[in-house]
């Protein structure tokens, strides 16, 4: 039997036949008039230029945010362990994942547009800020943990999500 059996749909799910199909499934490049010809050549299909709402969906780094939730949750479990430098560790993890974002977008999701990669790096940072950690922990000598208020992150997330698609040209 080729494929994986899905218990919910009670069907066998076939794996992608080619790497091109796999890339198409993960493709999150925002299609604009600037990259239209390249995407048409790469995909062999007639792409549609993305509208505002499609751009919003493609700019939300859901998989990166999910990874951050898992990483920050694991690191937070060490908060009461005095042998683990929690504050340093949480900031190192945040910066490391921020550094992984462009590589992940380029290699895994096939995003090649620099502006989109930069906007998605910003989106991850804004999501982390809205979720709190590590910003709610403060940075010694720079700003205290008491300077963080969740409302700032929540409002920034709303505005960033609404404005970011407008930064990507048609």
143 φ/ψ angles, rounded to the nearest 5 degrees: -155, 140
- What is residue 26's predicted lDDT score, i.e. its pLDDT? 38
- What is residue 58's predicted lDDT score, i.e. its pLDDT? 94
Contacts by 19-25 with C-beta closer than 8 Å and gap 24+? 23/110
CA dist 129 and 148 (Å) reads 9
- What is residue 170's predicted lDDT score, i.e. its pLDDT? 83
- What is residue 50's predicted lDDT score, i.e. its pLDDT? 92
Kindly give the parts of the chain with pLDDT less than 50.
1, 16-19, 21-23, 25-26
Q: Does the pTM exceed 0.85?
A: no
- What is residue 7's predicted lDDT score, i.e. its pLDDT? 62
């Amino acid at each position: 039997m080729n494929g994986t059996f899905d218990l919910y749909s009670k069907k066998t799910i076939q794996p992608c036949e080619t790497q091109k199909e796999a890339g198409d499934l993960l493709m999150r490049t925002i299609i604009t008039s600037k990259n239209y010809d390249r995407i048409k050549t790469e995909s062999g299909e007639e792409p549609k230029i993305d509208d505002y709402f499609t751009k919003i969906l493609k700019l939300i780094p859901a998989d990166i945010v999910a990874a951050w939730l898992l990483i920050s949750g694991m690191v937070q479990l060490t908060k009461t362990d005095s042998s683990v430098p929690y504050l340093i560790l949480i900031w190192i993890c945040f910066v490391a994942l921020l550094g992984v974002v462009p590589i992940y977008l380029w290699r895994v999701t096939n995003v090649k547009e620099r502006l989109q990669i930069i906007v998605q790096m910003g989106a991850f940072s804004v999501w982390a800020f809205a979720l709190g950690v590590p910003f709610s922990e403060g940075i010694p000598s720079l700003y205290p943990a008491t300077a963080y208020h969740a409302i700032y992150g929540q409002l920034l997330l709303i505005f960033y999500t609404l404005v970011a698609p407008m930064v990507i040209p048609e």
